[in-house]
Amino acid sequence: MTLAALIFAPIVDDDAFGAARVTVGSQPLVEFQARTAHRAGAQLILIFVEQIPTDILTCVDRLADDDIKAELVRTAAEVADQIHPDELVLLMAPNIVAEPQLLITCGTTETPFLLGLRGGDASDALERIDGFTHWSGLGVLRGDMVRSTARGVGDWDLCSTLLRSALQSSVPIEFIDLQHEGAPLLNRVATAQEAVAFNRALLSRDTVATNGLIDHFVWTPIAQILLPLMVRFDFEFDWFAAAVGLFALLALASDWLAPIIVAPALYLFSGLGARIAQRLRGISLRSGTGLDLILRGRVLVGGISLIMLARRLVDYGIGWGYYVLALWVLVEFIRLSIGDPWFFGQRNLPRWRASPDAAAAIIIVAHWYNLDILGLEMIIAYALASEAALILRRN
């Protein structure tokens, strides 16, 4: 059975300045709601808004860029015309946000239900069902019931009327406990402060596999400190993706134009931007194809920089065998990256595996102590060990 979504546009409690700050995942609240509904499997997303501001039109355009079909409806009659009687409708009340996994669970149901909260779990801002139960703001209803209710709603509030119609039709209430450990994130966000709190909770839940030791022990902890500030001021992950590409290109240019230590330093620092970009993309739920291409290109840049180092050392008098081995390490980085979660989403390699970031760190330390040849040999040995680990895991 197909799934549609009916999202009621947010009601902002802040003043005009505060309203501009009510964002989740560095995007307007309603756009985040639409993306979670899409993750839940909704093929059509209706956004109910009586007046259509420019920012919501921009949201619809961004959703369309990610192949998410969202349409604006201004009246209950338009809702009735858009909903098919045989489909299920994911209902999202104003300002209700939840992490994607909870919406995915709701979307997999084949029977209508309302998601309820016990009194201790609920905010007073949520609509009360009875003396002990509040409506969470989420539910799944049959399309024919939504259509019939929308056609007869008159001047009443459509969202509240749908709730009453569902209760009168004995739609079952499924309770969710938000107090136990590991409970899904679900909240009402109507102020900038509530948005900040929910963003922090999203960041604590979102985990991205790390790309080797440098990323795990250096960039990930730093990013964890910086990310709440980035989300608070709505930094887009695209900005950091562009910064990663810029630093990688500067590192590549430095192989020809600057001292040996400059290129690996620039390359290594780009890893922080890559980590931040990935985390921001994770909570924004955007596709980020450009970021994927930049991260894959960054692997190639790291290998090419290593080849340029070998070329410089050959000019200093070492054997050509090192140059050939550096070419092999480039191929090896690509092979190892194929099993890397930054590359194709697989998790086949140990955390200590060789990576371009580790190679850059080794080059910096080795050059500092005038041990460039030893540093290159250590990188080659490191890549060999990682390849052996990959072979053992496959077997």
Domain final residue pick, 198, 225, 244: 198
pLDDT at position 18, please?
43
State how far the Cα of 145 lies from the Cα of 85, in Å rounded to an integer.
8
Distance CA 75, CA 79 (A): 7
Same domain? For 194 and 234 the reply is: no
Say if 314 falls within a structural domain.
Answer: yes
Domain identity same for 107 and 256: no
- Model confidence at 16: pLDDT above 50: no
Domain that holds residue 349: 208-394
pLDDT over 70 (residue 348): no
pLDDT of residue 337 exceeding 70, the answer is: no
Q: Are residues 245 and 288 in the same domain?
A: yes
Please state the domain count of the chain. 2
Looking at the fold, whether 21 and 166 belong to one and the same domain comes out as: yes
The reported pLDDT for the residue numbered 8 is: 95
CA distances from 208 to 35, 178, 269, 270 (A): 19, 24, 19, 17
Same domain, 213 and 194: no
Domain final residue pick, 133, 163, 198: 198
pLDDT at residue 344, rounded to an integer = 38
Q: Do 193 and 234 reside in the same domain of the chain?
A: no
Whether 292 and 384 map to the same domain: the answer is yes
Residues 257 and 389 in one domain: yes
CATH assignment of the domain containing 186: 3.90.550.10
Model confidence at 208, in pLDDT bands (50, 70, 90)?
A: low
Same domain, 312 and 389: yes
In a shared domain, residues 268 and 371: yes
The model's pLDDT over 104-134, given as tens digits with 9 standing for 90+, comes to 999 998 899 999 988 765 667 788 887 788 8
> What span, in angstroms and rounded, lies between the C-alpha atoms of 294 and 275?
12
Per residue in 142-200, pLDDT (tens digit) is 999 999 999 988 767 899 999 999 999 999 999 988 877 778 899 999 888 888 889 98
Confidence of residue 339 (pLDDT cuts 50, 70, 90): very low
- Picking from 151, 179, 198, the residue at the C-terminal end of a domain is 198
Closest CA to 89 of 209, 170, 8, 185: 8
63 or 255, higher pLDDT? 63
For the CA atoms of 176, 177, 182, 184, what is the dihedral angle to 10 degrees? 40
Could you tell me if residue 203 is inside a domain? no
Which domain CATH number covers 382?
A: 1.20.120.1760
